A = this chain, B = another copy of it.
Amino acid sequence: MRVLGIDCGSQRTGYGVIESDGRDHRMVAAGVIRTNAKTPFEKRLLEIAGRLRELIRVHRPESAAVEGVFHSANAKTALKLAHVRGIALLVVAEAKVELAEYSPLEVKISVVGYGRAEKFQVQTMVTSLLGLAEAIDSEDACDALAVAICHATHQATARRLASPEPV
């Protein structure tokens, strides 16, 4: 299956596309949508929507995975992020791509096997699970790949549980 992971942020939105059977994962694309903080916010939302639509058009994912939104220490940042997240959910729904949401805890448990994993542990595991020669530089792209891997793993487990192979 092909999964688009999105890591929404008010200034940088990470994305990662993977091809996966739930056990073996391959990276198709990954990057960061950066917008200029000096550009009016609604124009930045327009830019993010355009880039996400393009990613879906080019990579044709079957599903998209995002992290749930949680109260941040910084309420203003959380509110800006929620605007961007609204855009991401809209674009996914418009493209009729299936949407899945996971908590940061679920993503870390799925990728690292430990819910309180540090950023660098997530990065190391994402790099390893995707069989990459070099670590993904961007934390945002890495987080997007992590949520995509989490979804691919969950989906494969759900399918196996639905139709178990004979012992």
Chain A residues engaging chain B, CB cutoff 8 angstroms: 40-43, 45-46, 49, 69, 71, 75-76, 78-80, 82-87, 89-90, 92-94, 99
CA of A71 to CA of B76, assembled, Å? 8
Cβ of A161 to closest chain B Cβ, rounded Å: 22
Q: Determine the main DSSP class of A at the interface with B.
A: helix
- Chain B contacts of A75 at CB under 8 A? 71, 75, 78
Leading 10 A-B pairs by shortest Cβ distance:
A83-B86, A86-B86, A82-B82, A42-B89, A42-B93, A46-B93, A79-B82, A45-B90, A71-B75, A86-B87
Cross-chain pairs A/B with CB under 8 angstroms, 29 sampled: A40-B99, A42-B90, A42-B92, A43-B93, A45-B86, A45-B90, A45-B93, A46-B94, A49-B90, A49-B94, A69-B79, A69-B83, A71-B79, A75-B75, A78-B79, A79-B79, A79-B82, A80-B82, A82-B82, A82-B83, A82-B86, A83-B83, A83-B85, A84-B86, A85-B86, A86-B86, A87-B87, A87-B90, A90-B90
